[in-house]
Amino acid sequence: MTVTRKEEIKWRHRPFTTIMDTSFENPSIHEVHPMRPYEYFKQYIPDEIFNLMADNTNVYAMQSGTLSFKPKPTSSGEIRTLIGLHLAMGVMKMPRVSMYWEAGMDIGIFQNTMPRDRFFQLRSHLVNNLEKPAENNDVFFKVRPLYNAVRRRCLEFPLEENLCVDEHMVPFRGTLSVKQYIKGKPHPWGLKIYFLCGKSGMAYDFLMHQGTSMELSQEHRKQLGLGAGVVYHLSQRITEANHKLYFDNYFTTYNLLELLAERKIHAAWTARVSRFARSPLQSDKEMAKKP
């Protein structure tokens, strides 16, 4: 990967012209055929995940001494129900989990779907039984099977024309070395995930932030920096010309734009003046003085 050195970047004053072909002829199936919420869920979560979770839950129940896992071992269908109830909790928030089953609350989706004690029993045994490798640097190795299964589904979807790379915070207040605090976010405490998404809202690839052990080429990181390196990494998913890729100033560098242009990916972005050598652009302070 060859990029222009910062001191070699030259600015020219020329009339703006658009002579390149930016036409895109492959409409997204997600734009043509919108899906119901559960259909979106099934697009990303394969059945094999529920089978794996059920098997691991039953094994852990035996290892922890609850051999019979009263009243019976769990199944992929019951695990699917467990996950569905957790999703419902994200919409209907209560101070305590047990309140969803209280008679006075009369929330039928919980009371009629799974007994409270069974819910807590399943949740307490829901683990990944993989042994930690001797030289493990992956902070997320316990959830890696789920991560890989969802990402495989993302990589199968046909891309739409307009795409975006951005970061997303997953709310998390537990103890984890890669937990971050980002001021100004709706959920400032959490885990950061970088997404490649489409205008339709579909996710086509993602990358979890975990410092130096992140699945990011060290060459890209060294030459482009973290933000631009993430965009370039996720843009490897784009194999056809004339896609439009949007991102904000956290990710923008001249070298990133240079590399995307070589692959005929048309980028639209905001920029930090400090990222461009000898930039003729006015500073934010100067622009603020203008009427």
Rounded-to-5 percentages of helix, strand, coil across the chain: 40, 10, 45
Spans of all domains in the chain: 37-124, 158-288
The tens digit of pLDDT for each residue in 231-247 reads 999 999 999 999 999 99
Asked if residues 206 and 151 have their Cβ atoms less than 8 Å apart, the reply is yes
Q: Is the pLDDT of residue 69 over 80?
A: no
The tens digit of pLDDT for each residue in 94-122 reads 999 999 999 888 899 999 999 999 999 99
pTM: 0.86
Classify 158-288 by CATH class: alpha beta
Q: Spell out the alpha helix ranges (H) of the chain.
A: 29-32, 37-44, 47-63, 76-91, 108-111, 116-124, 144-156, 218-224, 226-234, 254-262, 284-288
Q: CA-to-CA distance for 40 and 231, rounded, in angstroms?
A: 25
